[in-house]
């Protein structure tokens, strides 16, 4: 299954390929504001979440603000 | 006295920028932020699922404090650029405090990677605030690259050692045409006052407040120290005289003469 995996925040996740970024974000986070997504080092706008379909091997970063600095 | 702090096209009445890192919990952080009077506060960007995200933004929103994302934890220009772009998308701000540290031991800025990141981010339309060494020449280069301010360290991050090289800091403030914000290494209120007396436009700190025994009390002390230091700078201090010939009382009319 490794070939079908999508990397989400550094972890190989099965079942990610073929789904949209919007679906993935909904699953990973109960918050939809204050977060951003990059796929393969490229940052997506929020409008691009629904129409970006993930492929096997994609590297997805989903980040939010934390205390720091 | 009307003395606004102008930064990247924005105007603030407070000259203290507080970080949110190091607080024991959100309640302590909130109390300290309010006591500090800060209007601009840093946050870091991290992967979701680490259990820390989210609620810090609610606190800032509640008090109308503007968010200043940083690129803390980045070691290369590429990492910092990606983090900055994520922050802009997540938080809807073009402000970015660029940190590119050389290692996790000293947390000192890597000047080569920093300048590289800054050039990319300025071209990308960010309002760039770089955390830098207290090197006057690097500060000049960062200003020339289009930074909205320069943020030289007083001492390494979290060290609380105070201003290790006031001469360098003075050289930077004398030459800079953009605001100089001392960042990192402040230990106590007198350090913050000294930074302002040396001509800095603002002070950025977190550790000395968030890890103090009484964070809110230290936050208020920092607020007052920044105000006092700024006033002293504007007031124009008297020159130092090693052998003072300037008595402060009249020399004539002594009853014993």
| Residue (of B73, B82, B147) closest to B110 by Cα position | B73
Contact assessment for residue B211 and residue B186, using Cβ atoms and an 8 Å cutoff: no
Q: Burial, B159: exposed, middle or buried (Cβ in 10 Å; 0-12, 13-18, 19+)? A: middle
DSSP output for B82-146: HHHHHHHHHH---EEEE--BS-TTT--B-HHHHHHHHHHHHHTT-EEEEEE-S-HHHHHHHHHTT
| Contacts (Cβ under 8 Å, ≥6 apart) of B66 | B10, B39, B40, B41, B60, B93, B95
Residue A22 lies inside a defined structural domain of this protein: yes
Residue A38 lies inside a defined structural domain of this protein: yes
Supply the CATH number for residue B147's domain: 3.20.20.70
Residues of chain A neighbouring B47 (CB-CB closer than 8 A):
9-10, 61-63
Q: What is the pLDDT of residue A3?
A: 64
Residue A2 has pLDDT above 70, yes or no: no
pLDDT digits (tens, 9 = 90+) for B83-142: 999 999 999 999 999 999 999 898 999 999 999 999 999 999 999 999 999 999 999 999
Q: Is B207 assigned to a binding site?
A: yes
Mean pLDDT lowest for which of A13-27, B7-21, B64-78, B85-99? A13-27
Domain that holds residue B108: 5-235
| Contacts (Cβ under 8 Å, ≥6 apart) of B255 | none
Cite the active site residues of B.
97
Counting Cα atoms < 13 Å in the Cβ hemisphere of B7 gives 29
| Contacts (Cβ under 8 Å, ≥6 apart) of B243 | none
Domain that holds residue A23: 5-64
DSSP output for B136-185: HHHHHHHHHTT-S-BEE-SSSTT-----S-HHHHHHHHHH-SS-BEEES-
**Quick one: pLDDT band at residue A33, thresholds 50, 70, 90?**
confident
Mark yes or no for CB contact B206/A69 under 8 Å.
Answer: yes
Q: If you ran DSSP here, which 8-state letter would residue B216 be given?
A: H
Residues of chain A neighbouring B92 (CB-CB closer than 8 A):
none
Q: Is B185 assigned to a binding site?
A: yes
Q: What is the pLDDT of residue B23?
A: 87
Report the SS3 class of residue B201.
coil
Q: Is B51 assigned to a binding site?
A: no
Report the SS3 class of residue B213.
coil
Supply the CATH number for residue A35's domain: 3.10.20.30
Secondary element (H or E) of residue A46: helix A46-49
Q: What is the pLDDT of residue B163?
A: 97
Chain A nearest C-alpha distance from B144 (Å): 25
Residues of chain B neighbouring A43 (CB-CB closer than 8 A):
82, 85-86, 88-89
Domain total for chain A?
1
CA-based nearest residue in chain A for residue B80: A41
Residue B66 has pLDDT above 70, yes or no: yes
Q: What mean pLDDT comes out for the span B14-19? A: 96
Taking only residues 16 to 45 of chain A, the set having a beta carbon closer than 8 angstroms to any beta carbon of chain B reads 28-29, 31, 34-38, 41, 43-45
Residue B10 lies inside a defined structural domain of this protein: yes
Mark yes or no for CB contact B19/A69 under 8 Å.
Answer: yes
Q: What is the pLDDT of residue B51?
A: 59
Mark yes or no for CB contact B52/A66 under 8 Å.
Answer: yes
Mark yes or no for CB contact B89/A36 under 8 Å.
Answer: yes
Residue B105 lies inside a defined structural domain of this protein: yes
- Summary mean pLDDT of chain B: 94
Chain A nearest C-alpha distance from B237 (Å): 33
Q: What is the pLDDT of residue A1?
A: 47
> CA B107 to CA B158: how far, in whole Å?
9
**Quick one: pLDDT band at residue B162, thresholds 50, 70, 90?**
very high
Percent above pLDDT 90 for chain B: 84
- pTM of the prediction? 0.92
Domain total for chain B?
1
Regarding an ipTM greater than 0.85, the answer is yes
Residues of chain B neighbouring A41 (CB-CB closer than 8 A):
82
- The C-alpha angle with vertex A21 and arms to A15 and A23, in degrees rounded to 5, equals 70
Between B256 and B31, the more confident residue is: B31
**Quick one: pLDDT band at residue A13, thresholds 50, 70, 90?**
confident
Residue B52 has pLDDT above 70, yes or no: no
Contact assessment for residue A39 and residue A32, using Cβ atoms and an 8 Å cutoff: no
Question: Which residues share a beta bridge with B5?
Answer: B12
> CA B128 to CA B148: how far, in whole Å?
6
Report the SS3 class of residue A6.
strand
Q: What is the pLDDT of residue B130?
A: 98
- Neighbouring CB atoms inside 10 A of B112's CB total 12
């Amino acid at each position: 299954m490794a070939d079908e995996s999508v990397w989400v925040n550094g972890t190989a996740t099965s079942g990610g390929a073929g789904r949209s970024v919007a679906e993935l974000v909904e699953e990973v986070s109960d918050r939809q504001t204050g977060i951003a997504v990059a796929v393969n080092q490229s940052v997506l706008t929020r409008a691009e979440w629904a129409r970006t379909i993930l492929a096997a091997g994609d590297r997805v970063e989903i980040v939010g603000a934390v205390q720091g600095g | 006295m009307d003395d606004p702090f102008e930064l990247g096209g924005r105007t603030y009445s407070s000259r203290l920028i507080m970080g949110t890192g190091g607080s024991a919990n959100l309640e302590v952080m909130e109390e300290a932020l309010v006591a500090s009077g800060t209007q601009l506060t840093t946050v870091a960007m991290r992967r979701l699922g680490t259990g820390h995200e989210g609620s810090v933004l609610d606190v800032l929103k509640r008090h109308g404090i503007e968010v200043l994302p940083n690129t803390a934890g980045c070691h290369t220009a590429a990492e910092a650029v990606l983090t900055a772009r994520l922050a802009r998308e997540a938080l809807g701000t073009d402000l970015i405090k660029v940190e590119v540290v050389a290692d996790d031991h000293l947390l000192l800025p890597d000047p080569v990677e920093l300048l590289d990141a800054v050039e990319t981010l300025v071209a990308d339309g960010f309002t760039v605030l770089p955390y830098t060494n207290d090197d006057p020449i690097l500060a000049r280069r960062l200003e020339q690259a289009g930074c909205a301010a320069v943020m030289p360290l007083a001492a390494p991050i979290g060290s609380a050692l105070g201003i290790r090289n006031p001469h360098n800091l003075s050289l930077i403030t004398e030459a800079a045409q953009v605001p100089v914000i001392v960042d990192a290494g402040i230990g106590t209120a007198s350090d913050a006052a000294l930074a302002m007396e040396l001509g800095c436009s603002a002070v950025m700190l977190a550790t000395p407040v968030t890890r103090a025994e009484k964070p809110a009390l230290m936050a208020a002390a920092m607020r007052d120290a920044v105000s006092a230091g700024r006033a002293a700078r504007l007031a124009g201090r008297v020159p130092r005289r090693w052998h003072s010939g300037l008595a402060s009382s009249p020399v004539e009319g002594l009853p014993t003469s």
